[in-house]
């Protein structure tokens, strides 16, 4: 299968004016300005197949947004190459724009003072969407995203959740094969986040749309993506399945048990009680050293269990641990 996105040895440098302190330094800067070079993206390579949903993650300043801007044609690379659906984005921005949909959580592509429906109609003309396809898409998006409740409302009067729903519908109005999502659930409440995630999963499945997701909300990544590309200081440090990283760094599980009696002293081999409230106990254990069933057997030998659950580690805590401990223990780490 031919990749829909191909990135090879991609690089992006920025020249930043060097600021000198004091009055004399300011005068020198006026006469002769000096620049320093910041390497925002350093030799990144990856490919994405049609229909994949990939999380592109890293801390602030890692180079995520810079990479996305090169994929969308906003920025020209300093080195390397990039192709999006066979197009070099910065060489043919208009053609590339017809192949992609973009949602930036902090910005909108809708017209601020117009009713929402008029923004959709303007985008229909800009992208030359046929009347039939426009009506089909609007019916689908209205049904799934509940657009009908605010189509006649000016964009400036929409709540954040409503605007995000309108923005993602607008980004898909022209049937792009690729969707770039930058913080698509930022600022949304729990219910609105779930609606957005459900919609993204549905359009990926039904329309085979390729999705690249950048976000600081690790729950978005965990619920939507099987694969992630992890970058740090402009360099790729991991590219692979999320499950592999969870297996390596998520060995600590939590067993939560409700006992018939309270104020018990649980002495467990391989498990440690770290929290208790009444008759509920939270127990940490390493799945490589002891299984949940073995711990449960130990407890039931001396106590009666009313209920129990085993909690998996969240991807957010795992990624945080990776950044704290370093990348050398990642499975198949990228050499940098």
Residue 240 DSSP SS3: strand
Among the ranges given (24-38, 75-89, 223-237, 259-273), the one the predictor scored with the smallest mean pLDDT: 24-38
Q: Which residue has the higher pLDDT, 324 or 241?
A: 241
Q: At 225, is the pLDDT very low, low, confident or very high (cuts 50, 70, 90)?
A: very high
The answer, yes or no, to whether residue 326 has pLDDT greater than 70, is no
The answer, yes or no, to whether residue 255 has pLDDT greater than 80, is yes
Mean pLDDT value of segment 238-261: 85
The H-assigned helical ranges of the chain are: 22-31, 64-71, 93-99, 116-126, 131-145, 160-171, 190-207, 218-224, 242-249, 292-300, 315-325
> pLDDT at position 224, please?
92
- The CATH T-level fold of domain 251-311 is Alpha-Beta Plaits (3.30.70)
Q: At 336, is the pLDDT very low, low, confident or very high (cuts 50, 70, 90)?
A: very low
The answer, yes or no, to whether residue 315 has pLDDT greater than 80, is no
Model confidence over 110-163: pLDDT tens digits?
999 999 999 999 999 999 999 999 999 999 999 888 899 999 999 999 988 889
The H-assigned helical ranges of 48-159 are: 64-71, 93-99, 116-126, 131-145
- Return the CATH superfamily for domain 5-246: P-loop containing nucleotide triphosphate hydrolases (3.40.50.300)
CA–CA dist 273, 293 (Å, integer): 16
Q: At 329, is the pLDDT very low, low, confident or very high (cuts 50, 70, 90)?
A: low
Mean pLDDT value of segment 286-313: 87
What is the value of pTM for the model shown? Answer: 0.78
The answer, yes or no, to whether residue 12 has pLDDT greater than 70, is yes
Q: At 287, is the pLDDT very low, low, confident or very high (cuts 50, 70, 90)?
A: confident
Model confidence over 168-213: pLDDT tens digits?
999 999 999 999 998 888 777 788 888 888 999 999 999 999 999 9
Q: Which residues pair with 222 in a beta bridge?
A: none
Residue of 77, 73, 79, 9 lying closest to 44 (CA atoms)? 9
> pLDDT at position 29, please?
65
- Given a contact cutoff of 8 angstroms between Cβ atoms, the answer to whether 229 and 238 are in contact is yes
The answer, yes or no, to whether residue 18 has pLDDT greater than 60, is yes
> pLDDT at position 129, please?
95
The answer, yes or no, to whether residue 332 has pLDDT greater than 60, is no
List all residues 6 or more positions away from 181 whose beta carbon is below 8 Å from its beta carbon.
103, 168, 200, 211, 212, 213, 214, 215
> pLDDT at position 175, please?
94
Residue of 147, 217, 148 lying closest to 186 (CA atoms)? 217
For CATH 3.40.50.300, list the domain ranges present in the chain: 5-246
How many C-beta atoms surround the C-beta of residue 62 within 10 A? 23
> pLDDT at position 267, please?
83
For CATH 3.30.70, list the domain ranges present in the chain: 251-311
List all residues 6 or more positions away from 205 whose beta carbon is below 8 Å from its beta carbon.
none
> pLDDT at position 328, please?
64
Q: At 257, is the pLDDT very low, low, confident or very high (cuts 50, 70, 90)?
A: very high
Model confidence over 36-49: pLDDT tens digits?
788 899 999 999 99
> pLDDT at position 89, please?
95
Model confidence over 53-109: pLDDT tens digits?
999 988 888 888 899 999 999 999 999 999 999 999 999 999 999 999 999 867 788
Model confidence over 73-88: pLDDT tens digits?
999 999 999 999 999 9
Q: Which residue has the higher pLDDT, 217 or 210?
A: 210
Mean pLDDT value of segment 18-32: 67
């Amino acid at each position: 299968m031919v990749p829909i996105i191909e990135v090879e040895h991609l690089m992006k440098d920025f020249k930043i004016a060097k600021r000198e302190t004091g009055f004399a330094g300011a005068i020198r800067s006026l006469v002769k300005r000096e620049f320093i070079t910041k390497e925002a993206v350093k030799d990144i390579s990856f490919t994405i197949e049609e229909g994949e949903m990939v999380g592109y993650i890293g801390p602030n300043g890692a180079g995520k947004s810079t990479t996305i801007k090169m994929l969308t044609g906003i920025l020209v690379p300093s080195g390397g190459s990039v192709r999006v659906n066979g197009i070099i984005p910065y060489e043919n921005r208009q053609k590339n724009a017809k192949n992609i949909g973009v949602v930036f959580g902090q910005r909108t592509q809708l017209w601020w003072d117009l009713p929402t429906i008029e923004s959709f109609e303007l985008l229909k003309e800009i992208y030359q969407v046929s009347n039939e396809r426009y009506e089909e898409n609007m019916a689908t998006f209205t049904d799934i995203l509940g657009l009908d409740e605010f189509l006649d409302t000016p964009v400036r009067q929409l709540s954040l959740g409503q605007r995000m729903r309108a923005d993602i519908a607008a980004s898909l109005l022209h049937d792009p094969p690729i969707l770039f999502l930058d913080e698509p659930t930022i600022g949304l409440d729990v219910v609105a986040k779930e609606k957005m995630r459900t919609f993204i999963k549905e359009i990926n499945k039904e329309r085979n749309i390729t999705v690249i997701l950048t976000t600081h909300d690790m729950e978005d990544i965990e619920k939507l993506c099987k694969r992630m590309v992890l970058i740090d200081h402009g360099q790729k440090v991991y590219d692979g399945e999320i499950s592999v990283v969870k297996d390596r760094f998520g060995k600590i599980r939590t067993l939560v048990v409700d006992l018939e009696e309270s104020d018990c002293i649980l002495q467990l081999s391989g498990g440690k009680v770290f929290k208790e409230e009444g008759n509920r106990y939270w127990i940490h254990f390493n799945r490589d050293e002891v299984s949940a069933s073995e711990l449960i057997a130990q407890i039931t030998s001396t106590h009666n269990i009313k209920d129990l659950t085993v909690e998996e580690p969240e991807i957010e805590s795992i990624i945080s641990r990776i950044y704290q401990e370093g990348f050398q223990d990642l499975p198949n780490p990228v050499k940098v």
